[in-house]
Chains A and B, each alone.
Chain A
Amino acid sequence: MKQGFFTLTENTRIARDVYRMRLAGDTSAVTAPGQFVNIRLDGRFLRRPISVCDKEGDTLTLIYKVVGQGTAQMAEMRPGERLDLLTGLGNGYDLSRAGARPLLAGGGAGVPPLYLLARELSAAGREVTAILGFASAADVFYEKEFSALGVRVLLCTADGSRGRGGFVTDALEEAGDYTYFYTCGPEPMLRALFSASRGSGEFSFEERMGCGFGACMGCTCRTVAGPKRICREGPVLKKEEILWR
Chain B
Amino acid sequence: MAVNTKVTLCGIGLDNPVIPASGTFGYGYEFAEWYDINILGTFSFKGTTREPRFGNPAPRIAECEGGMLNAVGLQNPGVDKVVSEELPRLAACFHKPVMANVSGFSLEEYAEVCEKLSACPQVGWLEVNISCPNVHGGGMSFGTEPAAAAAVTRAVRRVTKKPVIVKLSPNVTDITEMARACESEGADGISLINTLMGMRLDLRRRRPLLANGTGGLSGPAVFPVAVRMVWQTARAVKIPVVGMGGVASAEDVLEMMMAGATAVEIGAANLRDPYACRDIVLALPAAMERYGIKDLNEIIGAAQTWEKM
List residues 203-221 of chain A with CB under 8 A from any CB of chain B: 207-211, 213-221
Chain A residues within 8 Å of B219, by CB: 45
* A46 x B272 contact (CB < 8 A): yes
* A1 x B33 contact (CB < 8 A): yes
Interface band, chain B: 35 or more
Chain B residues within 8 Å of A46, by CB: 61, 63, 68, 271-272
- Residue-wise, chain A 19-56 has the 8 Å CB interface mask toward B (1 for contact) of 00000000000000000000010001111000000000
* A45 x B64 contact (CB < 8 A): yes
* A210 x B61 contact (CB < 8 A): yes
* A227 x B54 contact (CB < 8 A): yes
Measured CA separation A221–B56 after assembly (Å): 10
Measured CA separation A210–B59 after assembly (Å): 10
With A40-B272, A214-B26, A215-B270 as given contacts, are A208 and B54 in contact (CB-CB < 8 Å)? no
- Residue-wise, chain B 268-293 has the 8 Å CB interface mask toward A (1 for contact) of 10111111000000000000000000
Measured CA separation A218–B58 after assembly (Å): 8
* B58 x A45 contact (CB < 8 A): no
* A210 x B34 contact (CB < 8 A): no
- Residue-wise, chain A 209-242 has the 8 Å CB interface mask toward B (1 for contact) of 1110111111111100001000000000000000
* A45 x B72 contact (CB < 8 A): no
* A210 x B70 contact (CB < 8 A): yes
Is B60's beta carbon under 8 Å from chain A? yes
Contact of A227 among B59, B75, B272 (CB under 8 A): B75
Closest to B65 in A: A45
Report A94 CB to chain B, min CB distance, Å: 21
Is A144's beta carbon under 8 Å from chain B? no
Chain B residues within 8 Å of A227, by CB: 54-55, 75
* B271 x A217 contact (CB < 8 A): no
* A222 x B61 contact (CB < 8 A): no
Measured CA separation A213–B30 after assembly (Å): 8
Chain A residues within 8 Å of B63, by CB: 44-46
Is B24's beta carbon under 8 Å from chain A? yes
Chain B residues within 8 Å of A215, by CB: 24-26, 30-31, 270-271, 274
- Interface centre among A46, A210, A213, by most B CB within 10 Å? A210
Closest to B221 in A: A45
* B274 x A213 contact (CB < 8 A): yes
Is A62's beta carbon under 8 Å from chain B? no
Is A128's beta carbon under 8 Å from chain B? no
- Residue-wise, chain A 76-99 has the 8 Å CB interface mask toward B (1 for contact) of 000000000010000000000000
Closest to A214 in B: B30
Is A200's beta carbon under 8 Å from chain B? no
* B67 x A208 contact (CB < 8 A): no
Chain A residues within 8 Å of B67, by CB: 45
Chain A residues within 8 Å of B243, by CB: none
Is A73's beta carbon under 8 Å from chain B? no
Measured CA separation A8–B209 after assembly (Å): 32
List residues 8-34 of chain B with CB under 8 A from any CB of chain A: 23-26, 30-31, 33-34
Chain B residues within 8 Å of A1, by CB: 33-34, 274
* B72 x A218 contact (CB < 8 A): yes
* A216 x B34 contact (CB < 8 A): no
Closest to A46 in B: B63
* B61 x A3 contact (CB < 8 A): no
Chain A residues within 8 Å of B271, by CB: 46, 210-211, 215-216, 218
Report A228 CB to chain B, min CB distance, Å: 11
Measured CA separation A122–B274 after assembly (Å): 36
Measured CA separation A86–B65 after assembly (Å): 22
Measured CA separation A40–B274 after assembly (Å): 12
Is B62's beta carbon under 8 Å from chain A? yes
* A45 x B30 contact (CB < 8 A): no
Measured CA separation A220–B30 after assembly (Å): 16
Chain B residues within 8 Å of A209, by CB: 61
Is B66's beta carbon under 8 Å from chain A? yes
Closest to A47 in B: B272
* A218 x B31 contact (CB < 8 A): no
List residues 170-193 of chain A with CB under 8 A from any CB of chain B: none
Measured CA separation A40–B54 after assembly (Å): 29
- Residue-wise, chain B 116-136 has the 8 Å CB interface mask toward A (1 for contact) of 000000000000000000000
Chain A residues within 8 Å of B68, by CB: 45-46, 210
Closest to A215 in B: B26
Measured CA separation A3–B270 after assembly (Å): 13
Is B57's beta carbon under 8 Å from chain A? yes
Chain B residues within 8 Å of A213, by CB: 30, 34, 274
Q: List 11 A-B contacts (CB under 8 A).
A: A207-B58, A208-B58, A213-B274, A214-B30, A215-B274, A216-B70, A218-B72, A220-B54, A220-B75, A227-B54, A245-B58
Smallest CB-CB A-B distances: 3 pairs: A211-B271, A218-B61, A208-B59
Chain A positions near chain B (C-beta within 8 angstroms) = 1, 3, 40, 44-47, 86, 207-211, 213-222, 227, 245
With A217-B60, A221-B58 already in contact, 5 other A-B pairs whose C-beta atoms are closer than 8 Å:
A208-B61, A210-B271, A214-B30, A215-B24, A215-B25
Chain B positions near chain A (C-beta within 8 angstroms) = 23-26, 30-31, 33-34, 46, 54-55, 57-68, 70, 72, 75, 219-220, 268, 270-275
